[in-house]
A and B are shown apart, each in its own frame.
Chain A
Amino acid sequence: MPAIPLSSAPQPAETNPALIRNFSIIAHIDHGKSTLADRMLGITGVVEARNMRAQYLDRMDIERERGITIKSQAVRLPWRTDGSDYILNMIDTPGHVDFTYEVSRSLAACEGALLLVDCAQGIEAQTLANLYLAMENDLTIIPVLNKIDLPAAQPEKFADELARLIGCDPSDCIKVSGKTGDGVEHLLDEIVRRIPAPQGDASAPARALIFDSVYDVYRGVVTYVRVIDGRLRDHDQIQMFSTGVKHEMLEVGVISPEPIPSKGLGVGEVGYLITGVKDVRQSRVGDTVTTATKPAQVALAGYKDPIPMVFSGLYPLDASEYPTLREALEKLQLNDAALVFEPETSAALGFGFRCGFLGLLHMEIVRERLEREASLSLISTAPNVVYHLTLEDGREVEVTNPSEFPDGKIAEVREPIVRATILAPSEFIGSIMELCQGRRGILQGMDYLSEDRVEIRYTLPLGEIVFDFFDNLKSRTRGYASLDYEPIGEAEGDLVKVDILLQGEKVDAFSAVIHREKAYAYGVMMTGKLRELIPRQQFEVPIQAAIGARIIARENIRAIRKDVLAKCYGGDITRKRKLLEKQKEGKKRMKMVGRVEVPQEAFIAALSTSDEGDKAKTKK
């Protein structure tokens, strides 16, 4: 029986590094990582069957519902192989494009990684990106084909694909089913055999890598670390390298999979510490923890401040909810070091916040959590990137809100550029290239992963991706394409600001920074959309798109001519009075742009990235 009880397994702080294996699982959303992790928890006996629930490690509802892991966690699993008792630390990594940095830190805490691929679908772009990240970190890769129980499984085809990617023999791929448990015990044995034990100097000053940091309402910030050198002891005073701030360590322990306090953590061990800080920004992913009494001199490599790449204005639908929004953002920030925000006022949308995100998914998740956890209804402006401008007088300006983009006297505009990797069946190559070309992409290369699957690499302006690129890619490829991107710097772009004017009044929420060649199309699209969305008013309302003072597109909303219900007899009177009162209330919720009443729905639909706006009911 390879599972061993926790009590008789090697204990935290007393485990010989030679008996430790640290690994993470690299997988795409839906490829069964959480199911495999659940199965490992069960087989190693750390979670009894009756306590098992699906996706045990994903704590947030939103994670369980969306089937994705946002925050990683580390679980200590005892396992007996070839007659010896080992400790396997499974470090669960986030699985999405926006969290590359967090993934890279999780990987840096491991010696090996399981490359988990659904053998009915094959590898996806994000997985590939993370695989390369693991290979750059010199991790031992164990290729694992999951879902072998599926009728559509093609283990041979994808074993070839994986072997070609990582340079191994197809027979090295381990075939498992997280769902049935088939092959999982063998996989645990292979983790012990193939992944090297951690190396480290037990007598050196303590150095531990923070690979995750989570705010808990009851405990404050829980910091997840991997000890590289030395030892962290219960009640040590610890120090963060990046800030130099010292903290009393209130508790140290391991997760198995509930937290178990321990006397400390030794070389190669993975666990958590609690210091009573209330804000994850004081305990940052990638930072190095050392002890205050005997501090290490050199930090571990690789620490980076999170840099927001995508910005959007968030506004409460109901202006009175502004304080609630502020509180909710502050609360989220306790748990999300990458989220930045500052107050912003829009003439059209009122008081809100300009928020910076790592990427689109990060933005979506934040928005969804605000709406769900604080019961807020929000309007968000179209996402944009950060622009760096040099003005004619030599001044440098950073623009995170398109409405603040200066109207003239600009010498140069620089925009962020990403390297994008797209994996897709080869039949879609033409369609993908057409899309990327239309988004100012430059082809960097293309490789066949297998006979019918291809990896396409482009550099693209991030601003071209943030709007509706991914939806477009998915629809062009019937959902088969996957996308990964990473920032590679900035480039000069021929960018202009397009303003939208209602009856001559600029609507700040609709301003967009756009490549000059696309400005006209944007103007036509936006004015057309608004013409459909804004109800007719008492007077004619021109809708214009303009670059500076030059009008590039124009639509008209004709004045309303008929606004009366034909019938009003005895039985209609009460109903009609109530309708008028309801409409009067509705008028209060209208946003006024000059004299033009714009319903909030129009803002929401016009700002949505999807086609919802186009589907909106035509009122004319």
Chain B
Amino acid sequence: MSLSVYVHIPYCVKRCGYCDFNTYTPGELRQGSDSVASVAEGYIDALLDEIEIAREQTGEQAISTIFFGGGTPTLLPAKQLARVLNRLNERFGLTENCEITTEANPDSVDASSLKELREVGFNRISFGVQSVKPHVLAVLDRTHNSNRVGEVVNDARSAGFDSISVDLIYGTPSESVTDFSESLDFALSLPIDHLSAYALIVEEGTKFGAAVRRGEVVMPDDDESAEKYLLLDRKVSTAGFEWYELSNWSKAGHQCRHNEAYWLSADWWGFGAGAHSHLSGKRWWNIKHPKSYIESIKAGGSPAAASETLSQKDQAIEDLMLRIRMRSGIELNRFEKNQLTVLEDFYQRGLFLPDSWKSGRAVLSLEGRLLADQVVREVIS
């Protein structure tokens, strides 16, 4: 057995209006200094302590994937992130081809910091690009300058990253199909190996969510988002990428193995404030606020806020809901008879690929991918 590791860095220079991730700006943390680095010093110490807790609990296991997410991990100096990587390596050991990813905001890196990241061990990088259209970025309340994106992706290539990914968001109010098409063309013009594209989700409790609720911003029609998805899949496929999950496309061999671990219900440990973990049927999640997280670690306790033990039924639902999103699909022999009847009905409507179906797997067709949640809901009802 191998373990996957997620490390949460809950800091951003600025919170984007649509984002509901567990992240804090220096101002929100109110610790006197505005420098994230100074705030983060104690946080990294706490992460190192949590690694000790994890090692004690999981026993000997090599780590096969590591993913630094946020927040903005690249706000911290590479040498701080390296402390975490080193400790993981010391305590657990990494598999030979361990995939080590960090998320990056194009504004928070440059040629030299990318080089440093590569040197301390990161071999995969994922840039949050979202859109190249300034008016779309404005609605998203994003800061970066899209001209920089091309530079940093090339810099990352020069620094020697094995895999480079960019993230796009579509379905932002004010974004036309042409706007999205341009963002897509731009992303595909870069030397990347992997692309994630997400339809914008309105989250409650965000500035953007409030604006939608007040009617100041109107979300686009789902049909338009469906059009964009079809366009996306067509362009990305033409450019030599293959879908391996609903919102993820890659060149051969460049799938994100870390995310695959989530979707295949492997074991992973999430370190840091608000991070979720899963170890053989048990899930838990840490205290959300970094300050409370640090304090609970310092006090020698567990940083977990709550946990749940998955029943067989829960696990079955999760397996379905996660695997159905993947190109590898889900084996038909996992289902009960009445569920198969429901699936059969969807198959008749063209939601599953015939070849896979005939060989005993339910793999969503292009139209089916757009209706994945409906399929799950009907099968479990």
Interface residues of A (CB under 8 A from B): 538, 558, 560-571, 573-574, 576-577, 580-581, 583-584, 587-588, 620
Contacts and interface: CB of A to CB of B under 8 A. Distances in A.
Nearest to B346: A538
Contacts of B113: none
B315 to A, nearest CB: 10
Interface string B271-288: 000111010000101000
Contact of B377 (A561, A567, A584, A620): A584
Given A562-B370, A564-B372, A580 B199 contact: no
Interface stretch (B43-51, B128-136, B221-229, B295-303): B221-229
A221 B6 CA distance: 73
A558 B224 CA distance: 13
Interface in B1-28: 6
B325 A583 contact: no
Interface size class of B (residues with CB under 8 A): 35 or more
A580 B377 contact: yes
A563 B373 contact: yes
A252 to B, nearest CB: 62
Contact of A563 (B278, B317, B325, B370): B370
Contacts of A620: 221
20 contacts: A538-B371, A561-B226, A562-B199, A562-B229, A563-B222, A563-B371, A563-B372, A564-B246, A564-B373, A566-B246, A568-B246, A568-B321, A570-B275, A571-B275, A573-B262, A573-B276, A574-B283, A577-B321, A580-B376, A584-B381
Given A562-B222, A567-B247, A584-B380, A573 B371 contact: no
Interface string B308-320: 1000001001100
B201 interface: yes
A564 B247 CA distance: 10
B135 to A, nearest CB: 21
Contact of B283 (A562, A566, A569, A573): A573
Contacts of B222: 560-563
Given A568-B325, A584-B380, 20 more contacts: A538-B374, A558-B223, A561-B223, A561-B226, A561-B370, A563-B371, A564-B372, A566-B199, A568-B263, A569-B259, A570-B262, A571-B270, A571-B274, A573-B276, A573-B278, A574-B276, A576-B321, A577-B317, A580-B317, A581-B317
Nearest first, the 9 A-B pairs at minimum CB distance are A566-B198, A563-B374, A562-B226, A561-B226, A571-B276, A564-B372, A562-B222, A566-B199, A562-B370
Contact of B308 (A558, A567, A574): A574
Nearest to B306: A574
Contacts of A577: 314, 317-318, 321
Contacts of B318: 573, 577
B124 interface: no
Contacts of A567: 198, 201, 247
Given A571-B276, A573-B276, A573-B318, A565 B373 contact: yes
Given A580-B317, A587-B381, A562 B247 contact: no
A74 B380 CA distance: 63
Contacts of A588: 381
B322 interface: yes
B374 A569 contact: no
Q: Which residue of A561, A562, A584 has the most chain B CB atoms within 10 A of its CB atom?
A: A562
Q: Which residue of A566, A567, A587, A588 has the most chain B CB atoms within 10 A of its CB atom?
A: A566
A580 B285 contact: no
A562 B369 CA distance: 8
Nearest to A583: B377
Nearest to A574: B283
Contacts of B225: 562
A200 B262 CA distance: 93
Contacts of A560: 222, 371, 374
Nearest to A573: B318
A225 to B, nearest CB: 58
Nearest to B171: A566
Contacts of A569: 259, 262
Interface string B345-381: 0000100000000000000000101111110110011
Contacts of B317: 577, 580-581
Contacts of B374: 538, 560, 563-564
A566 B381 contact: no
A567 B276 CA distance: 15
Contacts of B369: 564
Nearest to A618: B218
Nearest to B351: A538
A491 B263 CA distance: 70
Contacts of B6: 570
A135 B377 CA distance: 68
B303 to A, nearest CB: 15
B41 to A, nearest CB: 25
A128 to B, nearest CB: 44
Contact of B268 (A570, A581, A584): A570
A583 B321 CA distance: 14
B156 to A, nearest CB: 22
Nearest to B228: A562
A564 B321 contact: no
Nearest to A575: B276
Contacts of A568: 246, 262-263, 321-322, 325
A567 to B, nearest CB: 5
Interface in B200-215: 201
Contact of B371 (A564, A570, A571, A574): A564
A587 B285 CA distance: 29
A422 B221 CA distance: 47
A576 B319 CA distance: 12
A564 B367 CA distance: 11
A571 B203 CA distance: 14
